[in-house]
Amino acid sequence: DSGVTQTPKHLITATGQRVTLRCSPRSGDLSVYWYQQSLDQGLQFLIQYYNGEERAKGNILERFSAQQFPDLHSELNLSSLELGDSALYFCASSEGQAFYNSPLHFGNGTRLTVT
Amino acid sequence: GNSVTQMEGPVTLSEEAFLTINCTYTATGYPSLFWYVQYPGEGLQLLLKATKADDKGSNKGFEATYRKETTSFHLEKGSVQVSDSAVYFCALSPDDKVIFGPGTSLSVIP
């Protein structure tokens, strides 16, 4: 058990809809990262927050947004969903700001299916 | 730019066989290198890491040596078990970001 909790585990929704994925980081971890995993794109970094502030941005679409709350949990909002957004979305947390000195701990992911 | 290349899978081995999964990288500076493992239905877990040239990371019988001269970080295990069946990701962190390779799927058959 990594200590990172993601909800829900599965989500099925229709095109054009909006969903929110939730992540509770490991106790004591200040950084939260969001990744998208699909068969054709592999593991893509979306965004990182550190102690409530956006720290780094990756290949995140404008239709997607995220935030980290004062209690350090994070939410990833996906809107105007398209079929191609179907993927596994992982949240990870780490103690520090920088990945190189603070390894990531991953949750079990939320599987999003857009129909 | 920074990138990670891994050998394509899937790799299928018999139990107790020797495993090598190749990983090479392109990076500026001196990145930290990692291997992560993803078991079916789970998130990624850190398997081992190396932070400077010639460092050897090891865990659960797996080893990888940071080779700066060949920009490689190949994963090895002397005798695989069925329970090692998973997807293995090589990753590098040249700065405050992390870049994952595409992953290599390993199946170990009894």
Contact criterion met (CB < 8 Å) for A106 and B43? yes
Give the C-alpha separation, B61 to B79, whole Å: 8
> What secondary structure letter does DSSP report for A26?
P
Q: Which of residues 59-88 of A touch B (CB under 8 A)?
A: none
A contacts of B34 (beta carbons < 8 Å) = 103
Q: Among all chains, which residue has been given the structure tokens 């947390």?
A: A93
Q: Give B43's Cβ-side CA count (13 Å radius).
A: 25
Contacts of A39 by beta carbon, 8 Å cutoff, 6+ apart: none
pLDDT average, residue stretch B9-29: 94
Residue A78, helix vs strand vs coil: strand
Mutation for A interface: B90, B96, B99, most A CBs within 10 A:
B96
Could you tell me how many helices (H) and strands (E) chain A has, helices first?
0, 11
pLDDT tens digit sequence for B74-93: 999 999 999 999 999 999 98
Per residue in B41-70, pLDDT (tens digit) is: 888 999 999 999 999 999 999 999 999 999
pLDDT of A91 strictly over 80:
yes
Distances (CA, A) of B77 to A109, B43, B52, B58, B70: 28, 22, 21, 10, 20
Residues counted in chain B: 110
CA max distance for chain B: 43
DSSP bridge partners of A2? none
Cβ-defined contact of B97 to A101 (cutoff 8 Å): no
Question: What are B36's strand-pairing partners?
Answer: B46, B89
CA distance B5 to chain A (A): 12
* Segment among A12-26, A33-47, A97-111 with least mean pLDDT: A97-111
User: Which chain B residues are closer than 8 Å to A4 by Cβ?
Assistant: 43
Q: Does A99 touch chain B (CB under 8 A)?
A: yes
